[in-house]
Amino acid sequence: MRSTSILLIAVLLIGMSMAAGVPSPKLLSPFQPTCNWSCNAGQINTCCMHLGFRSVVTEFDYIGNGETAEYAYYMKNASLILEEIITKRKYDKSLAPLFEPMTDNFIESKTRRLDITFGLNFVKLFNMDAEKQILEARLELAMDWRDARLVWDKRKFGNVSSIVTTTESIWIPDTCITNTKKLEVVTGQAPQNVRIFSNGSIHMVTAYFTETACSIDANIFPFDKQNCSIPVLSLTYLAKWISLHYRVNTVSSTLVGNGEWLVLNALPIAAKISENLEIGSFLLMIKRVPNFYVYVIALPCFILTSLSIIGMFWSPNHKKEQLAKLSIGLTSLVSLTVLMEMLADAIPKTQAFPLLGIYVVACLGVISMRCDIDFMSIIL
């Protein structure tokens, strides 16, 4: 009696599935509570209607929800690819794709090191603190590497050559930007995405806000140019395991300064510190915009000094005119005091005395010397 009831229920389910256009399920054993029949193309995300240990499988219908057949076809194959490379192959993201037994003489080894390429895509300079020797900037850093465990034959998956997923699914190199006071990932708490290609190559772009140490030479301030290095290296992996490469993917429109500084260029520099450590950097070449200092400090100082010299040296050196000349000189000195205060606020607080400071002090010295001459002429 029980067997007859089960058979009637199965026949009823098959009839309902045929009427709804769903492929007929197989009769399963009471000890097999899984859904194991295929679904229509363009449908993913399995949904099972359970009756005891027997199930009917349906999948999300993209076409029925307003998407195109091409989109549904791609999503089905992308899901199958992700299932193949992660689930079926039992991908372990905690295992690095490195050849650990690599000998120290890796150049002669038939097994290649893992190539990791860094690309600088974008630079936005926010501030240059000359006193603290700190460069504040936003960087977009691309990273490319290859993981042989993520290779698939695109001919078997609808010619899909790449998919996009999150970094939570795969292994990521532990490379980082060093020599920084502060380093933050701009994306915040949102999961970061990577693009995986059919040959196993992986592309990832990360946006950083960084405060990097930068040695500043202010000898020719405000016409100075600075070179700031942003080092990038791996903290864990030895040079015999990985090979680091650097490139700049920027153009002039992606090198953005601020009101005071211009980013002229960015250059990749690779170096090897020791046999076990490779390190590279991106060299930012920046130039100060001197307009403010020229028009607000240097030019008024020049005009004031020129007028003072003309007023104090132009007329004959008569004793009755010495007091008037001294008044002109003292007035000029008071005016230069205001410019000196502005210069003190703007000048970099470094060991080197800058060019603009030397110029203002020279102007102050010329006027002071003439005031001394006039003063001595009056008292004598």
For residue 125, pLDDT over 90 is answered with yes
Could you give the CA distance from residue 108 to residue 119 in angstroms, rounded to a whole number?
A: 28
- Give me the amino acid identity at 28: L
DSSP per residue, 81-109: HHIIIIIITT--TTS----TT--S-GGG-
Reported as a single tens digit per residue, the pLDDT across 174-189 is 888 888 999 999 876 7
pLDDT in the model for residue 208: 94
Query: Which CATH number applies to 106-288?
Result: 2.70.170.10
- Average pLDDT estimate for 21-39: 40
- Both structure tokens of 287: 């130039």
The answer to whether 199 touches 151, Cβ cutoff 8 Å, is yes
Q: How confident is the model at residue 37 (pLDDT cuts 50, 70, 90)?
A: very low
Q: How confident is the model at residue 15 (pLDDT cuts 50, 70, 90)?
A: low
For residue 151, pLDDT over 70 is answered with yes
pLDDT in the model for residue 154: 95
- List the chain domain ranges: 2-65, 106-288, 291-379
Could you give the CA distance from residue 311 to residue 257 in angstroms, rounded to a whole number?
A: 43
CA distances 180 to 1, 82, 283, Å, are 78, 37, 15
Which CATH number fits the domain 291-379, given the four candidates 3.40.640.10, 1.20.58.390, 3.40.50.10540, 3.40.50.300? 1.20.58.390
For the ranges 13-17, 251-255, 277-281, which has the lowest average pLDDT? 13-17
What is the helix (H) or strand (E) element at residue 70, kind and residue range?
helix 69-82
pLDDT in the model for residue 41: 40
- Average pLDDT estimate for 217-246: 90
- Both structure tokens of 220: 């020719």
The answer to whether 240 touches 284, Cβ cutoff 8 Å, is no
pLDDT in the model for residue 56: 35
| pTM of model > 0.85 | no
b (16+ CB within 10 A) / e for 277-303: ebbbbbebebebebeebeeebbeebee
